[in-house]
Amino acid sequence: MHEQGLIKEIMDKVLREADKHKTKKIVKVKVKLGQLSHFTPQSFKEHFYYAAQGTPAQEVGLEISSFPAVARCIRCHKQFKLDTAVSFCPFCQSIDFTIISGKDVFVESIELK
């Protein structure tokens, strides 16, 4: 359900933008996927096009890139990139850290005609 909510949010944003510019022709949407988000580029595409059926966004080109997850160590306050291979702070080896980005999905740009 979380995935669908997210897709809906992104879809709403795209459609609102088109609406604002009084066009129904959406050419391209660039999306950034955090590495810890629930999507892979492929699954995001599938969800997106499924949700876009019957809307002006159904034939839009999707450009998806991912960005790394970043965490901040609670003990030494340093920031580091988080991937599945890293589950502790590389500076002080603490396992106490908070994820500060990488769970999000956001629209980078919307290209209209």
Smallest distance from the beta carbon of 34 to Zn ion, in angstroms? Answer: 21
CB 94 within 8 A of CB 61: no
Distances in Å between the Cα of 20 and the Cα atoms of 43, 46, 58, 106 are 28, 26, 18, 19
Q: Which residues contact 77 (CB under 8 A, 6 or more apart)?
A: none
Q: Which is nearer to Zn ion, 68 or 90 (CB)?
A: 90
CB 66 within 8 A of CB 104: no
How many residues contact Zn ion, by CB under 5 A?
7
CA–CA gap between residue 49 and residue 100 (Å, rounded): 29
Out of 89, 105, 110, 112, the residue judged to bind Zn ion by CB under 5 A: 89
Smallest distance from the beta carbon of 67 to Zn ion, in angstroms? Answer: 22
User: Contact region for Zn ion (CB under 5 A) — 6-14, 52-60, 93-101, 104-112?
Assistant: 93-101
Give the per-residue contact string, 21-60, with Zn ion (x = CB under 5 A; - = no): ----------------------------------------
